[in-house]
Amino acid sequence: MRIGAGVDHISTLVQLRLKTDVRVGSRWILLAIASYILWILFAISYYYRVSLPLLTVGQTLGLFGTLAFAASTGLSFLVYTLINRQNKHATREQEIVWQVLREIQSRTTPENLGVLLPLSATEQDFSNLLEQTHEHSAFLWSLLVLVPYVGWVFLMVALYLLTDASNAHERIERMLFEDLGRTLAAGGSRQPAPNSRLPVPRNGTSYLLASAFTIGIVALSWLYVMMIGEAAHFRYHSTLESELLLAFPESTAGGGRVA
Amino acid sequence: MVQSQLRGAKRIFFDRIFERSYWTWRKHPAIIVPSMLGSATTVIEQSIFTTGAIAFVSILADKGTLSAFLTQISSGGLTPSLLLNLIFNSSYTPLLIPIIGIAVVAYFLTAILGGGFVYSSEYGIYLDAWNNDKATIGSIVRHGSVRWRAMAWTLFLSNLITWAPFVITYSVFIASALNSASIAGLVGLIASSILLDFALIASLMIAVFTIYSYPAVIIDNVSGLRAIKNSFGAASHNFGATLSYSIVRVLLLILLAVVVIPLTSAIGLPLSSFIAAILSLFLTPVLHSTKTMIYYYSKPNVSEMPFELSDPIWQDIYRRLPRAAWMKIKAGLVEMGRFTIGPRNLPFHLLSVLAFGLGVFLGDYVSISGVKSYLLSTGYVSGRGNPNVIFPQVLPPVLGADIFLNNWLVSIATGLAGIGFGAPSFATILFNGFILGILVPLSTLTMLLAAILPHGVIEIPSLILAGSMGIKLGYAALRRLFGDNTAQNSASETLSSSSDDYLSRTLRQTVYVVVGLAPLFLIAGLIEADVTPIIMRMFGWTF
């Protein structure tokens, strides 16, 4: 590999933030609410044999069912986007840290224990991050959510997994970036500022129980929390990754701010 | 810390592979062709039975016993016991047994041998597209002709192992049900009915583990039990990705078939043909490619799939895909024009027209010799259309689109089924003519033309053209077959490679021609749904 190629790769990965750390439009939640209401209307129409004016019961069921399924595809897309966003965010971060560690290793002489010691700790953190980051299939969960009625149970499970993964990610990532900062500082580079605002971990179990007891209503607000809740985390990444690039002065590209 | 240790064990990401499968499908549309050939295999299988049925009813018509036969069928409904009685009825047995026997043997041979060719070309082209960034029609023919035996053997064994528990238990259940009057039969019935669910679950579980048998034939260059063993190994070592794939595959089918089609049908939106097109042209190639690559990346000597970001699939589907599809259709229209007017293609056109004409003649003969009198005896009134068929409760443009997609898919399958040495295309065109021929004596010529011509003037020539293309493809396949033999005998590679090349070019031409037929079938479908009923009424049809 030519000298500086690794740094270029880091720059590219930082720029990819605009593709991975995407903002999910809050209006998508309306489709989730519509899906919930329409499937309830479908059940009522089926159970009580109620029909809309000018329509037979069969046509009414068909109409409610088709609209409910259409709304569910919006919910499904939302779930896909959330899981996919988390997967890609985590993978991009792993790639960046991996490249940064390789770059530091290549620039550090075996005698430079001042750098090698914090580097070893950072590598340990990175190893923990890899070990505890589990990618969930966005395609699979988005399809499971599409199943009428049962999909709500899958939605709760998907949100639980998402919350759990998000909490674990925040926790491990914090340690990793602190050690990485120390490593960079030991090498004479500027240390990226640590995250001053500690995020409060979301309690997935409480959300899950509340959602189950309210037959899925709380799951809607939980979904909304997961949609908008990552914004602060992405803002932190935006700052941190830009500062990380400053540690490698030969980098050509700057890190774009998250949208 | 050693870098490889730091990165940990190799992982297989279902989503990453699925996304790249989608982009491979976009970049190399040729990977759709084996999936289209798969649909064509189904047409070949159907054509075996339709040809048998046409032969059977034509012979009965000749003997003057067709009307009695039809009355016998309709009197008791098509129950299994009635069918058994018919088969073993001395009037029909000498005719039915050989026809059914030949049809069943031909069906299984086609399913296994045709499947061998189709799957080996399919999984081969996925591997080419991923690893060599190249997927041509030539490579489809090459993979199909090189690995078809190994794939056919694996296909047979894999299905045997997968479905044996269910088929055996179900056979015991049927046999016991037929002998339920005896104690042994009753015991067998109770035991098998309890075991039936377990047998089905067992078969489904085995199906999850034999899922990579076909990719293994191509990737590992093995066959039969070895391929199945490799599949078991890969599935158990990568159970998460395998289960994700299986659930996605099954769930997609269930959602489309059990949820979407019934719901939309209830409000007059027939989407079954649309869904069939999506499944055949998009989902099957993308999912099979995903499966192939899950298996490929499960190999110990293949490193983890690198991280790469692509544009979102959804945006591509509604922004760029329609334009890309239109470009292919335009290219198809040009190729179709060339094929239609090419003087060298005249014999194929004539054969296709002959098949259609022969079908009309046979249908007309069968109708006069029994079908018409039978229909009149059941209360059919000449000039009255079936309201459920002609005017179902659907939104007219959607019905037109549904008819278009159905006919287009049939024409795709008809054209590509020609790879079975032309006979399936000939039989399919014959069958379509046969159905039309049955209708001829049922009304006056003017009324018949009013019902057929408005859309048929486009639809029938288009279908005949698809058949003509299929017959040409069959000719190319025959040349390949004999060219190959010559090459083996004379140790000359030239003939073989030239016939390979001719088959590849003809297959490519077939794909373009059937794609180019889409606009014609769309126009015909819209006319059939929205204009033909009006014209039919003008000429005295009632509903």
CA-only gyration radius of chain B, Å: 26
Contacts of A92 in chain B (CB under 8 A): 307, 309
Closest Cα in chain A, distance from residue B270 (Å): 12
B18 touches chain A (CB under 8 A): yes
- The one-letter code for the residue type at A199 is P
- Structure confidence at residue A194 (pLDDT): 65
- The answer to whether the Cβ–Cβ distance between A131 and B8 falls below 8 Å is yes
Q: Using CA coordinates, name the residue in chain A closest to B311.
A: A19
Q: Looking at the complex, does the CB of residue B237 fall below 8 Å from at least one CB of chain A?
A: no
- For position B318, what pLDDT does the model report? 83
Least confident among A1-15, A113-127, B256-270, B395-409: A1-15
Q: What is the enclosing helix (H) or strand (E) of B314?
A: helix B313-319
Helix residue ranges, H only, B179-297: 183-209, 213-219, 224-237, 239-254, 261-266, 272-278, 284-297
Contact A62 B15 (CB under 8 A): no
For position B5, what pLDDT does the model report? 53
Which of B6, B244, B309 lies at the smallest CB-CB distance from A140? B244
- Check CB contact under 8 Å for A135 and B269: no
Give the chain A residue nearest B18 (alpha carbons).
A139
Calculate mean pLDDT across residues B90-112.
84
Per CB-CB distance under 8 Å, the chain B contacts of A127 are 1, 6, 8
d(CA B514, CA B333): 9
For position A258, what pLDDT does the model report?
34
From its phi and psi, is residue B342 left (phi > 0), alpha (psi between -120 and 50) or beta? Answer: beta
pLDDT of residue B469: 94
Chain B positions touching A88 (Cβ under 8 A) are 309
Structure tokens at A159: 């949100």
Confidence class of residue B367 from pLDDT cuts 50, 70 and 90? confident
Domain boundaries, chain A: 5-19+74-246
Question: Is the pLDDT score of A188 beyond 80?
Answer: no
Q: Tell me what pLDDT residue B394 has.
A: 63
Instruction: Kindly report the average pLDDT of chain A as a whole number.
Output: 84
Question: Is the pLDDT at B432 greater than 80, yes or no?
Answer: yes
Instruction: Give the pLDDT confidence score for residue B37 in this predicted structure.
Output: 86
Among B300, B264, B256, residue whose Cα is nearest residue B280: B256
- Of B123-127, B444-448, B527-531, which has the strongest mean pLDDT? B123-127
Question: Percentage of residues in chain B with pLDDT exceeding 70?
Answer: 91
Average model confidence (pLDDT) across chain B: 85
Greater model confidence, B148 or A243: B148
Listed as own residue / partner, the contacts of B132-136 with beta carbons closer than 8 Å and 24 or more positions apart are B133/B27, B134/B28, B135/B28, B135/B30, B135/B31, B136/B30, B136/B504
The partner residue sitting opposite B263, judged by closest CB among A69, A87, A146, is A69
Q: What is the pLDDT of residue B201?
A: 93
Chosen from A19, A66, A69 to mutate, greatest number of chain B CBs within 10 A: A66
pLDDT digits (tens, 9 = 90+) for B472-481: 999 998 888 7
CB-CB under 8 Å, B269 with A20:
no
Q: What is the pTM of this model?
A: 0.85
How does pLDDT run across B5-60, given as a tens digit for each residue? 556 667 788 888 999 899 999 988 888 888 888 888 888 888 888 888 888 888 88
Give the start-end residues of each E strand in B51-154.
Answer: none
Count CB neighbours of A184 within 10 A.
24
Q: How far is B433 from B351, CA to CA, in rounded Å?
A: 13
Percentage of residues in chain B having pLDDT higher than 90: 33
CA B56/CA B65 separation, integer angstroms = 11
CA B282/CA B440 separation, integer angstroms: 39
The amino acid sitting at B279 is: L
Question: Which chain A residues touch B318 with a CB distance below 8 Å?
Answer: none
Q: Inform me whether the pLDDT recorded for B199 exceeds 80.
A: yes
Cβ distance A176 to A97 under 8 Å? yes
pLDDT of residue A3: 46
Q: What is the DSSP letter of B222?
A: -
The dihedrals phi and psi of B384, each to the nearest 5 degrees, come to -110, 120
Res B496: pLDDT: 57
Backbone dihedral angles phi then psi of residue B418, each to the nearest 5 degrees = -60, -20
The reply to whether B247 touches chain A by the CB within 8 Å rule is yes
Q: Cβ–Cβ of B263/A77 closer than 8 Å?
A: no
What pLDDT, in 10s, does the model give residues B264-281? 887 777 788 888 888 888
**10 Å Cβ neighbour count for B16?**
24
Residue B489 pLDDT > 60, yes or no?
no
B-chain residues near A139 (CB < 8 A): 14-15, 18, 244, 248
Q: What is the DSSP letter of B132?
A: I
Which residues in chain B are closer than 8 Å to A126, comparing Cβ atoms? 6
Return d(Cα B123, Cα B219) in angstroms, integer.
9
The answer to whether the beta carbons of residues B100 and B53 sit under 8 Å apart is no
CB-count exposure of residue B36 (10 Å: 0-12, 13-18, 19+): buried
Burial (CB < 10 A; 0-12, 13-18, 19+), residue B114, is buried
Contact yes or no for B18 and A139 at CB 8 A = yes
Question: End-to-end distance of chain A based on CA atoms, in angstroms?
Answer: 33
Q: Which pLDDT value is given to residue B80? A: 66
Min Cα distance A143 → chain B (Å) is: 7
- How many Cα neighbours within 13 Å face the side chain of A64? 22
Predicted local distance difference test score (pLDDT) of residue A196: 63
Residue corresponding to tokens 């033909």: B532
Residue A259: pLDDT above 50?
no
Confidence of residue B487 (pLDDT cuts 50, 70, 90): very low
Q: Contact at 8 Å (CB) between A155 and A29?
A: no
Longest dimension (CA), chain A: 85
How would residue A22 be classed by pLDDT, with cut points 50, 70 and 90?
confident
Query: Do A20 and A89 meet the contact criterion of CB atoms below 8 Å apart?
Result: yes
pLDDT above 70: residue B492: no
B408 is written with which tokens?
């287009």
From chain A, pick out residues whose CB is under 8 angstroms from the CB of B314: 77
Packed helices B445-490 and B423-439: angle between N→C axes, nearest 10 degrees: 170
Q: In chain B, which residue's Cα lies nearest the Cα of A142?
A: B248
B250 touches chain A (CB under 8 A): no
ipTM rounded to 2 decimals: 0.84
Q: Buried (b) or exposed (e) across B370-393, using 16+ Cβ within 10 A?
A: bbbebbeeeeeeeeebeeeebeee
Q: For residue B126, give both structure tokens.
A: 């996925």
**pLDDT tens readout for residues A35-72:** 999 999 999 999 988 888 878 888 888 889 989 999 99
B190 touches chain A (CB under 8 A): no
Query: Measuring CA to CA, how many Å separate B69 from each of A238, B73, B85, B365, B415?
Result: 79, 6, 12, 16, 34
Instruction: Work out whether the CA dihedral B262, B264, B266, B271 comes out positive or negative.
Output: negative
pLDDT of residue A159: 94
Q: Which of B307, B308, B398 to mutate to test the interface with A (most CBs of A within 10 A)?
A: B307
Question: Is A127 in Cβ contact with B263 (below 8 Å)?
Answer: no
Integer CA distances (angstroms), B326 to B286, B306, B315, B481, B525, in order: 20, 33, 17, 35, 18
What the block records as the tokens of B183 is 């104690």
Contact A60, A45 (CB under 8 A): yes
Set of chain A residues whose Cβ sits within 8 Å of the Cβ of B7: 98, 130
Contact B199, B170 (CB under 8 A): yes
Backbone φ/ψ region at B133: left (φ over 0), alpha (ψ -120 to 50), beta: left
B392-416 pLDDT, tens digit per residue, is 566 667 888 888 888 898 899 889 8
Q: Which residue type is seen at B130?
A: W
Of the candidates A66, A138, A144, the beta carbon closest to that of B251 is on A144
Cβ contact, residue pair B266, A65, below 8 Å: yes
pLDDT at A163 exceeding the cut of 60: yes
Q: Where are the alpha helices (DSSP H) in chain A?
A: 5-15, 17-20, 28-48, 57-107, 113-132, 138-146, 150-186, 204-213, 217-228, 231-246
Chain A: residue whose CA lies nearest to B12: A135
- Six token digits for residue B127: 């591997």
Amino acid letter at B29?
Answer: P
pLDDT band at A250 (very low <50, low <70, confident <90, very high): low
Residues from chain A that touch B251, judged by Cβ atoms under 8 A, are 143-144, 146-147
- Please name every residue paired with B384 in a beta bridge, in sequence order, or none if there are none: B542
Q: Is B15 on the interface with A (CB under 8 A)?
A: yes
Mean per-residue pLDDT for B55-79? 77
> DSSP label at B303?
P
To test the contact with chain B by mutation, choose from A143, A149, A157 the residue with the greatest count of B C-beta atoms within 10 A, namely A143
DSSP-derived 3-state class of residue B384: strand
| Structure-block tokens of residue B326 | 């239109």
What single DSSP character describes residue B30? G
Distance CA B438, CA B447 (A): 14
| pLDDT surpasses 70 at B391 | no
More confident residue, A116 or B500: A116
Q: How many CB atoms lie within 10 A of CB B448?
A: 17
Nearest CA in chain B to A95: B307
C-alpha distances out from residue A59 to A38, A44, A148, B344, Å = 14, 14, 18, 54
Shortest alpha-carbon distance between residue A44 and chain B (Å): 16
pLDDT over 60 at B495, yes or no: no
